[in-house]
Chains A and B, each alone.
Chain A
């Protein structure tokens, strides 16, 4: 019970929000907008899964928004040169692997702090993109949007791929050695090392995985419309980190579940549509988002208040 208290709290908050919406704004549940809304949150969900693994292993990656933009633009240039869909997806994920590996090498093997490394790579990718594309919106060739399927089938594909990733990752974190390595390294790297786990290899692996997921998230993002904008990943890092933390992932590593991340993301993602449906003026949006984050951590703090310094 107490083990999943955080997930239950978030689920309760989400349930309450959805219930209020059901009573006061039933329009929220019309099928098409509901599905479209859900689909548009899926890239952030995939990124949040990645960032959750990174945070559980006691690191952080603030370059994921820039990574997503970079992957999306590389993929659309690849698509524009006539590569088939499968190759485009692989290109995007490959670009993600390279960027993730760079972070991984610098953090795990050179031993630099991840927040600084990824701050540096974030700026570097953003500026490279600006020099390269000058903010140009790129048109995608036919057959990329919705993977060349119908809209309904495409949306189903995007949602099911993302949920599969959450389920697979949640299962792997519990049942695979790698998943337990991540928790072990995140709780105590030295103890993990003594237990025969190589913390550096695990850390490197987590950053590469983050890159793969960023590349995949980029694909899930670009199939949703016929054009790609080079700033498409801006702000993603804050959204994903907030979702992970609200969902109960401890920023100091070693603790958190992907179910919590899923709930955290759904909660945060629905705040903004809810404001629209309640006819609140848009200039309250940022303040309320901040309050939700603070309330979530506050609940956490009050819940386990002990050992005041």
Chain B
């Protein structure tokens, strides 16, 4: 709940120091511009819950975007159909990660570091780095640029995905197994959970959602290029971890991820609104990008430190009744 406090603080601070932070148009901008990162953060949550990580989602966006643009522009496929196909390609890419991680017992960090390079590389090779696709029908671009019932159109897609992932993680036995696997894969195995199958699904979902994020990004920008989504994987991981999901797996919630994402999105936008105050001889707004990076780092450390500290207190109180907790470690065997 620390994050709710952070968000409230941000709203108060940015609204009093900055210009028009809470105007309807600006708030809808905040969400419109961060939907893609939000989707990746949502998709990353089950993966991190199982004790894994997926560094390839940003590159997957690049590859899906290029494939999508190619289908629509070079082969005349209907954009909605192509969008579905892009999600399918994302799922395939996720499947490749899943195959290597669960069937060959390879560490997720390294596998997805490899596919991080591979997917982006394929996107560049397919377009020779230079080509881009920009002939999309207006009806498709509306997905990225219009409002539906007072909210940006893509927010509705986002909310559906959020609800879906929340239901999956918190309301199905299948989804609960993610945390069990992250807490102890071996234990989960003895408890009869099909560990490999369920872990695979987390990566496949992550790939599919990355494909969806690519389609939404293309709809917003009106252009598909091999550099789509560059660097988004770390922003997504940041949102997830800030939201209290343990990077070692086993604990965390989807709503935590959402709060982490909202607080980062507001920080990113809010600082650019502060043009009446100066820092180091420049207005805050003109150094907002650099400052928000710095503050993100600090916020992340502070949130984790508070989390570790409260947990420590709780363990100390509980000591004597239960076993002292083992030091946390990520250990997908």
Given contacts A124-B297, A287-B118, contact A309 B106 (CB under 8 A): no
B313 within 8 A of A: no
Task: Tell me if B105 and A288 are in contact (CB < 8 A).
Answer: no
Task: Tell me if A294 and B114 are in contact (CB < 8 A).
Answer: yes
**Stretch touching chain A among B6-14, B16-24, B160-168, B285-293:** B285-293
B195 within 8 A of A: yes
- Closest Cβ of chain B to A10, distance in Å, is 15
A190 within 8 A of B: yes
Residues of the B chain whose Cβ atoms lie less than 8 Å from the Cβ of A297 = 100, 106-107, 110-111, 114
A228 within 8 A of B: no
Given contacts A119-B234, A283-B129, contact A110 B308 (CB under 8 A): yes
A18 within 8 A of B: no
Residues of the A chain whose Cβ atoms lie less than 8 Å from the Cβ of B238 = 119
Give the residue name and chain of the B residue nearest to A291 (CB): B118
A86 within 8 A of B: no
Residues of the A chain whose Cβ atoms lie less than 8 Å from the Cβ of B119 = 290
Give the residue name and chain of the B residue nearest to A126 (CB): B293
A96 to B241 Cα, complex, angstroms: 26
Task: Tell me if A293 and B124 are in contact (CB < 8 A).
Answer: no
Task: Tell me if A123 and B114 are in contact (CB < 8 A).
Answer: no
A-B CB pair tally, cutoff 8 Å: 150
Which chain B residues (239-286) contact chain A, with CB distance < 8 Å? Answer: 241, 246-248, 280
**Stretch touching chain A among B25-33, B143-151, B322-330:** B322-330
B141 within 8 A of A: no
Task: Tell me if B117 and A290 are in contact (CB < 8 A).
Answer: yes
Which chain B residues (289-333) contact chain A, with CB distance < 8 Å? Answer: 290-291, 293-294, 296-298, 300-301, 304-305, 308, 312, 326-333
- Closest Cβ of chain A to B255, distance in Å, is 20
Q: How many residues of A contact B (CB 8 A)?
A: 52
Task: Tell me if A294 and B333 are in contact (CB < 8 A).
Answer: no
B109 within 8 A of A: yes
A122 to B293 Cα, complex, angstroms: 10
Task: Tell me if B106 and A119 are in contact (CB < 8 A).
Answer: no
A216 to B293 Cα, complex, angstroms: 26
* Residue with the greatest number of chain B CB neighbours at <10 A, chosen from A190, A252, A286, A305: A286
A238 to B234 Cα, complex, angstroms: 13
Give the residue name and chain of the B residue nearest to A193 (CB): B327
- Closest Cβ of chain A to B37, distance in Å, is 15
A28 to B14 Cα, complex, angstroms: 58
Task: Tell me if A110 and B104 are in contact (CB < 8 A).
Answer: no
Residues of the B chain whose Cβ atoms lie less than 8 Å from the Cβ of A60 = 109
B88 within 8 A of A: no
Q: Which of A110, A127, A238, A250 contacts B291 (CB 8 A)?
A: A127
Given contacts A112-B305, A130-B290, A284-B125, contact A298 B298 (CB under 8 A): no
A84 within 8 A of B: no
Give the residue name and chain of the A residue nearest to B197 (CB): A309
Given contacts A58-B329, A116-B247, contact A305 B104 (CB under 8 A): yes
Residues of the B chain whose Cβ atoms lie less than 8 Å from the Cβ of A58 = 329
B189 within 8 A of A: yes
Q: How many residues of B contact A (CB 8 A)?
A: 60
A214 to B53 Cα, complex, angstroms: 26
A239 to B33 Cα, complex, angstroms: 31
A309 to B246 Cα, complex, angstroms: 23
Contact pattern, B 214-240, Cβ under 8 Å of A = 1, otherwise 0: 000000000000000000001001100
Contact pattern, A 100-138, Cβ under 8 Å of B = 1, otherwise 0: 000000100011110111011111101110110000000
Residues of the A chain whose Cβ atoms lie less than 8 Å from the Cβ of B105 = 301, 305, 307-309
**A contact face: mostly helix, strand, loop, or mixed:** helix
Task: Tell me if A113 and B301 are in contact (CB < 8 A).
Answer: no
- Closest Cβ of chain B to A30, distance in Å, is 29
Give the residue name and chain of the A residue nearest to B307 (CB): A112
Q: Which of B124, B241, B291, B312 contacts A283 (CB 8 A)?
A: B124
Contact pattern, A 235-276, Cβ under 8 Å of B = 1, otherwise 0: 000100110010000111000000000000000000000000
Residues of the A chain whose Cβ atoms lie less than 8 Å from the Cβ of B297 = 119-124, 127
* Residue with the greatest number of chain B CB neighbours at <10 A, chosen from A117, A242, A283: A283
A285 to B300 Cα, complex, angstroms: 34
Residues of the A chain whose Cβ atoms lie less than 8 Å from the Cβ of B124 = 283, 286-287
Give the residue name and chain of the B residue nearest to A245 (CB): B110
Task: Tell me if A309 and B298 are in contact (CB < 8 A).
Answer: no
Task: Tell me if A238 and B121 are in contact (CB < 8 A).
Answer: no
- Closest Cβ of chain B to A291, distance in Å, is 6
Give the residue name and chain of the A residue nearest to B305 (CB): A110
Contact pattern, A 190-206, Cβ under 8 Å of B = 1, otherwise 0: 10000000000000000
Given contacts A123-B297, A126-B293, contact A288 B121 (CB under 8 A): yes
A23 within 8 A of B: no
Task: Tell me if A283 and B118 are in contact (CB < 8 A).
Answer: no
Residues of the A chain whose Cβ atoms lie less than 8 Å from the Cβ of B64 = none
A197 to B177 Cα, complex, angstroms: 36
Given contacts A112-B305, A127-B291, contact A309 B189 (CB under 8 A): yes
Residues of the A chain whose Cβ atoms lie less than 8 Å from the Cβ of B116 = 290
Interface residues, chain A, with chain B CB atoms under 8 Å away: 58, 60, 106, 110-113, 115-117, 119-124, 126-128, 130-131, 189-190, 238, 241-242, 245, 250-252, 281-291, 293-294, 297-298, 300-302, 305, 307-309
Instruction: Report 20 cross-chain contacts, Cβ distance below 8 Å, ordered by A residue.
Output: A111-B327, A113-B246, A113-B247, A113-B248, A113-B304, A116-B300, A119-B234, A123-B297, A131-B290, A190-B326, A245-B110, A283-B127, A286-B117, A288-B121, A290-B121, A291-B118, A294-B100, A301-B100, A307-B333, A309-B196
Given contacts A283-B125, A297-B100, 16 further A-B contacts (CB under 8 A): A112-B304, A112-B305, A120-B300, A121-B297, A123-B294, A123-B296, A130-B290, A245-B113, A252-B107, A284-B121, A287-B122, A293-B114, A305-B104, A309-B185, A309-B196, A309-B333
